[in-house]
Structure 1
């Protein structure tokens, strides 16, 4: 009888957990759809901006711009876009693994951590935390990430940073996200056409006002901002997708556990009834 009561308590606990995870799954699914739509809708603009910069190849000496020039001295910096909350599967663990590899390569490097989880695992790694940004709004706007990009751009142009890498989870689909790590600054690697001009026979003719150099100088800081902003959108879509899938799996596992416990309860109850019948039968036979 005591065993049956214990099983009933476990069934009740599993059902309560299932209700909680189901509610969290529904909330995550709603946020996931908005985040996915926002990330995918912004991709064409990011690609068009990248294409516009490539069209400046061969028109301007890119090495003259501070965001394109390589620095021999300064600090190596990693910008990590993590999450503020957990319960999103192995997403943050994958970021931590990639950050650990970077830290082994640049043991004296500094980290700009975005999200409470990123701050936490940066400290676990023993890496120097240069800056931290947490509790960003759910509906991200470009203005929300300006403090981050301003910090990065200003320190790089002042020669305090030698290189800046960007680490985040790239959204593929609801079931798949992958770690993305790329060089943010200097921009030479992202824009190879600044180092090797487009072939004249393939280049289209464009007129730049007031001139190509000033257009480049205006676009590059905004390009950095938009690159970071797109990374945030991809990371947010990855987070909500991973959390929705995790909560869905948790709900299914809780349901399976309830079924198993219910079967155990039925067997225990059946055994208890059988024992009672045997006791009654034995008593009658004794009399």
Structure 2
């Protein structure tokens, strides 16, 4: 049986741990709000940009307008961008996105390369002996568009060089503070999807529009400049959604850890009280036994 000193030290240790998890919960709550705000701030620009792209993509001969809009006749190699986190303590967040990614592409039938965003995802894929060709770690939270532009440039360049025939991104789509789900989105070739037929988290989906656009100097030059930019926008929004999901998952995990620590403190405190009561009772019995023995000795002497 542990001593009262050991019990006190254990209670103090668990209380300190509860303070840490409570602080992490507070930090995560602040960061998830910032990530949501950053994501919402990009919505007006992204929606208008997609309206322009949809208008161009629905023109006759869209497959010859730009190489990023052209469907390849055959798929010989695939690139997957997997967005995870740099830190742990987020419950099953990293394991869930890794499991989802592998289930989607382990049976692709063609070689698959991976670009990872986040240290944890890279470690998990390397452990599974997957071919990780690039890794991006320690992104700010939330990142700026310039922080993730290099990822978009990398995948667009490789796609245009015919290194890859399809490019996908897997990330955790933020629905609310309680629900986040891993999703897969096709980045290249760019595909226009109506909202009515879109999957959850599909960043390329939009409502039909009857807007009329006039392009200067011409639509080909517009496409040449903005289509690669759209790919980077999709990656940027996916990372913002994934970061919001990460912080929400960590907030929930830390809240659960704090509650468990508090329950453990109560249980330990109860055991400590019982131990003290047992010690006090034994001491009182010893005193009473000593007093009785002393009285018996005095009577014998008399």
Deviation larger for 23-32 or 88-97:
23-32
Segments of structure 2 that go 5 or more residues without pairing to the other structure are: 196-208, 297-302
Matched, 1:282 2:289: yes
Secondary structure at the counterpart of residue 208 of structure 1 = coil
1:19-34 equivalent positions in 2, closer than 5 A: 19-34=19-34
Q: Deviations over 1:38-82 (max 9, x none)?
A: 112223332332222222244242211211122325421110011
Instruction: Tell me, in whole angstroms, the C-alpha distance in 2 between the residues paired with 1:227 and 1:208.
Output: 23
- Cα pair 2:76 2:111 within 8 Å, conserved: no
Instruction: Tell me, in whole angstroms, the C-alpha distance in 1 between the residues paired with 2:35 and 2:6.
Output: 43
Taking structure 1 as the reference length, the TM-score comes to 0.89
Secondary structure at the counterpart of residue 165 of structure 2 = strand
Matched, 1:216 2:223: yes
Which structure has the higher relative contact order (CA within 8 Å, separation 6+)?
Answer: 1
State the partner residue of 2:236: 229
Bigger radius of gyration among the two: 2
Instruction: Tell me, in whole angstroms, the C-alpha distance in 1 between the residues paired with 2:210 and 2:33.
Output: 40
State the partner residue of 1:83: 85
1:187-206 equivalent positions in 2, closer than 5 A: 187-188=190-191, 190=193, 203-206=210-213
Instruction: Tell me, in whole angstroms, the C-alpha distance in 2 between the residues paired with 1:2 and 1:204.
Output: 76
Instruction: Tell me, in whole angstroms, the C-alpha distance in 2 between the residues paired with 1:48 and 1:207.
Output: 14
Instruction: Tell me, in whole angstroms, the C-alpha distance in 1 between the residues paired with 2:182 and 2:43.
Output: 18
Matched, 1:254 2:261: yes
State the partner residue of 2:176: 173
Instruction: Tell me, in whole angstroms, the C-alpha distance in 1 between the residues paired with 2:116 and 2:212.
Output: 43
The alpha carbon displacement at 1:167 in A equals 0.5
Segments of structure 1 that go 5 or more residues without pairing to the other structure are: 193-201
| Residue 204 to residue 251, structure 1, CA distance change in 2 (3 Å) | closer
State the partner residue of 2:101: 99
Provide the alpha-carbon RMSD of the alignment: 2.1
The alpha carbon displacement at 1:36 in A equals 1.6
Matched, 1:9 2:29: no
Deviation larger for 204-213 or 81-90:
204-213
Deviation larger for 202-211 or 154-163:
202-211
Taking structure 2 as the reference length, the TM-score comes to 0.85
Instruction: Tell me, in whole angstroms, the C-alpha distance in 2 between the residues paired with 1:58 and 1:40.
Output: 27
- Cα pair 1:169 1:179 within 8 Å, conserved: yes
Aligned length in residues: 278
Instruction: Tell me, in whole angstroms, the C-alpha distance in 2 between the residues paired with 1:59 and 1:88.
Output: 45
